[in-house]
Amino acid sequence: MEVRSFLSRQLVIGEMLARQARKNHNKTALVEGERRFSYGELNERVNRLANALADLGVGRGDKVAMMLFNCTQMVEGYFALAKLGAVAVPVNFRFVGREVAYVVDHSESKVFIYDHVFQEMVNGVREEIPGVQHFIAVGGDGDERHNEYEKLVASGNEGEPMVPVDDDDPAYIMYTSGTTGRPKGAVLTHKNKFMNCVNCIIEIGLHADDVYLCVPPLFHTAALAVMLMMVFLGGTTVLVRQFEPAAVVETAAREKVTLTFLVPAMWNALLLVPGLGEKMKTLRKAITGAAIMPVSLKEAVLKALPGVGLLDAFGQTEMSPVTTLLKPEDTLRKGASVGRPVVNVEVRVVDDAGCDVPVGEVGEIVYRGPTMLKEYYRDPQATAAAIKDSWFHSGDLVRMDDEGFVYVVDRKKDMLISGGENVYPAEVEEVLYRHEKVLEAAVIGVPDERWGERVHAVVVPKPGAALTAQEIIDWCASHLAGYKKPRSVEFVEALPRNASGKVLKNTLREWYRKQQQ
């Protein structure tokens, strides 16, 4: 079969863009600051990059690491590698050198594309990543002569690469957050991400005329997923390099944004921007995810942005990532829930023996469907532990009500046992967020001679608020069983978070341990 015919029948990422370039050649695909790219222009740059990388020896199955801020080059890299059948390895730009080296080396990347601001870090780890054959810097000195990336793009042919990519081929190795140890590389196929687009477009109700404001980093699976949805439909993506609340709001107003995805901590910060409702009046859909969004925060967002459809997406990297979705009509009626399973994803709630638990009881949520990862890269043991009898075991503890709505209780590894009683930090955090003086909060278990473990709350007060530990303890005591209330409270200026917005509870435990020394 001729390659063009073969590709047209596959659910592959590169063909998403090529198809839109043919159908909507002059429509705006991407906006970055003052730069705007039509689908035709974007596709031509992607082809040039793909062909130039092929000239360097990058082919089907080869890994290419990318450590970039939200920028046109990151989008181009994703699609160029997809067209070659190569595998993109996005790297968290907040990582330190040791962490960067681990991901690049473990993934067996042969090319490393990075923003020039990381040059010193990259130089410092070169000996630790001997498999990298080509280092390509983006930007530098404001002069394209010193921009290795732009020189590479200019050297490439603009024709379609025409590599026969199969939709079951790996497209990405997305390294998990690593909140409990070394990150694992989730291998996601073209079909995985393609079907996540299908699921979410149906469930969220996205349109070809939507304008998506991309704020979280594109190395994060959810931000990437929504960008792909826009290309799938022929919509527009507006890139924000870094999260600065006031600048985000101004960009949304200027570009008449209709859709955005923000983690709860970002929504919290956005609510402090004056004139939010007026400046974001074109917003049609607002998505939250990556961390649990307290009901009180949902209510505040809806008050600030009346008429906006607020959706809560839940899932994880290994599921490409969305598994359940709470839709606008249920946002307040089922506010503590993360919704019901999306189309094409099957869900069960099971006990430690893998048996379904009764409705309303706590168990581990497991999934299967066409969005489930292929494997963990170079880790058959972790793959076997996570995928059992065709079901992916998430490690998330949930309960499901009689309408099929899922309620997240906590991560299995975050649950603590105090005096023989199970305490789920997420439940205590929900109560803390309701306190009028609390901006953010996190709960961990710490050693206790009497109880084994006790509840320790780490709290960020709202700006200017005077708050005492006893106020926090009394507040929780009035809303929770006694064994669930914090027995110690710590106040901080900000919670440590990873790039996807999840609180780094290992870091909080380390902070506490050092204080006790």
Show pLDDT as tens, one digit a residue, over the chain (517 residues): 699 999 999 999 999 999 999 999 999 999 999 999 999 999 999 999 999 999 999 999 999 999 999 999 999 999 999 999 999 999 988 888 888 999 999 999 999 999 999 999 999 999 999 999 999 999 976 445 457 999 999 999 999 999 999 999 999 999 986 544 578 999 999 999 999 999 999 999 999 999 999 999 999 999 999 999 999 999 999 999 989 999 999 999 999 999 999 988 789 889 999 999 999 999 999 999 877 788 888 999 999 999 999 999 999 999 999 999 999 999 999 998 999 999 999 999 999 999 999 999 999 999 999 999 999 999 999 999 999 999 999 988 899 999 999 998 877 677 787 876 778 788 888 889 999 999 999 999 888 877 878 899 999 999 999 999 999 999 998 988 888 899 999 999 999 987 667 788 878 888 888 888 6
State the span(s) of the chain assigned CATH 3.30.300.30: 416-516
Peptide bond into 321 cis (omega under 30): yes
Q: Contacts by 245-252 with C-beta closer than 8 Å and gap 24+?
A: 245/269, 245/270, 245/272, 245/273, 246/273, 248/213, 248/215, 249/273, 249/275, 249/276, 249/279, 249/280, 250/279, 251/213, 252/213, 252/279, 252/280, 252/282, 252/283
- Reference 256, options 282, 286, 227, 278; nearest CA is 282
The CB density around residue 76, as the number of other CB atoms within 10 Å, is: 27
State the span(s) of the chain assigned CATH 3.40.50.12780: 3-189
- DSSP category for residue 204: I
The torsion defined by the Cα of 49, 52, 58 and 61, in degrees rounded to 10, comes to: 30
* Residues contacting residue 485 through CB under 8 Å, at least 6 positions apart: 428, 455, 473, 476, 477
Report yes or no: 382 and 410 within 8 Å, Cβ to Cβ. Answer: no
- Supply the CATH classification number for the domain 416-516: 3.30.300.30
Burial label, 368 (beta-carbon count in 10 A; 0-12, 13-18, 19+)? middle
Q: What are phi and psi of 264, to 5 degrees?
A: -55, -40
- Reference 227, options 368, 20, 8; nearest CA is 20
Report yes or no: 141 and 148 within 8 Å, Cβ to Cβ. Answer: no
- DSSP category for residue 34: T
Place of tokens 């603590």: 416
- The top-level CATH class assigned to 3-189 is alpha beta
| Beta pairing class for 236-239 and 211-214 | parallel
